[in-house]
Homo-oligomer: A and B are copies of this chain.
Amino acid sequence: MITALAGGVGAARFLQGLVNVISEKDITVIVNTGDDIELYGLHISPDPDIIMYTLAGIVDEEKGWGIRGDTFRCLDMLRRYGHETWFKLGDKDFATHIYRTHLLISGLPLSEVTKRLCQKLGLKVKILPMTDDKFETKVVTAEGTMHFQEYLVKRRAQDEVIDITFEGAEKAKPAPGVVDSILSADAVIICPSNPIVSIGPILSLKGVKSALEETEAKVAAISPIVGGSPVKGPADKLMRGLGLEVSVYAVAYLYQDFLDNFVIDNVDQMEKDRIERLGVHVVATDTLMKNLEDKIQLARVTLKSIGVR
């Protein structure tokens, strides 16, 4: 049994490789919900949706999110009704949010709703939202404190980052199965996701970090930073804002308490010694995932580094 911690696009691409190496039913994915946002009264879960759509084979591969070939008529009409429409939701995508919101309002927890969505999409992978509770990642900028999606999508990550806060983190409990799936796993993989706003929220939940430290499973991570910058997204701006250097070393530093193996890109080979002094074993390989073969290869190298297969 493999348990993976995941954010959005980078994680989804890596998991596409993983399900080609390990049976889907042996994989549990704990997904960040700190980016969840309510728009037009609908509950949107960007990271879980990216993972679901990708593994269901319906994702818009080019964008990395949303459903392939989707249209935006509903959103166009909401604009006519005076709504802001900076968060691009497609017509098919809206069905997911309508379905999710309806079940949440009827009283089901997010984890149960996510399970049903996965079943309907034919997924065998177990996808767990990190928490059923309210949790919002906020970005503190010179322009004010804002929801992460507002920072990233509406304002295009242009504001200077002063701090990141996790609203609700003290009260939020990990969703059922989250801690257990880490403790009982044969191996744990931290996907190549933003360490601050994708993996960070999961680690902030009570019991998750200690489960990663206590589990007998080897813990491997794949660096989302390659050659001093993120493959995708604003990790560099966020890390710099928090006073961290933007490097594979800094990611290893953040994960050092529980990390056994760190898969970095060949271009970052020179960081190997510095990282290993943190007590983390390093494997260098080609980590850019341009096609399915790259993804499968990265999954194989990662699994091999922690003795699986």
Contact = CB atoms under 8 A, between A and B. Distances in A.
Interface of A: 40-42, 67, 70-71, 73-78, 80-83, 90-96, 98-99, 101-102, 105-106, 116-117, 120-121
A98 B95 CA distance: 11
A95 B77 contact: yes
A99 B67 CA distance: 22
- The number of times this chain is found in the oligomer is 2
A93 B74 CA distance: 7
Given A70-B73, A73-B70, A78 B101 contact: no
A76 B92 contact: yes
Given A78-B98, A98-B40, A99-B40, A92 B120 contact: no
The secondary structure that dominates the A interface is: helix
Task: Tell me which of A73, A90, A99, A105 has the highest count of chain B C-beta atoms within 10 A of its own C-beta.
Answer: A73
Nearest to A101: B41
A94 B120 contact: no
A83 to B, nearest CB: 7
A177 B78 CA distance: 28
A7 to B, nearest CB: 24
Contacts of A106: 41
B78 A95 contact: yes
Given A74-B94, A91-B91, 20 more contacts: A41-B101, A41-B105, A42-B98, A73-B73, A73-B91, A73-B92, A74-B91, A74-B92, A74-B95, A75-B95, A76-B92, A77-B93, A77-B96, A80-B120, A80-B121, A81-B96, A81-B117, A91-B94, A94-B98, A98-B98
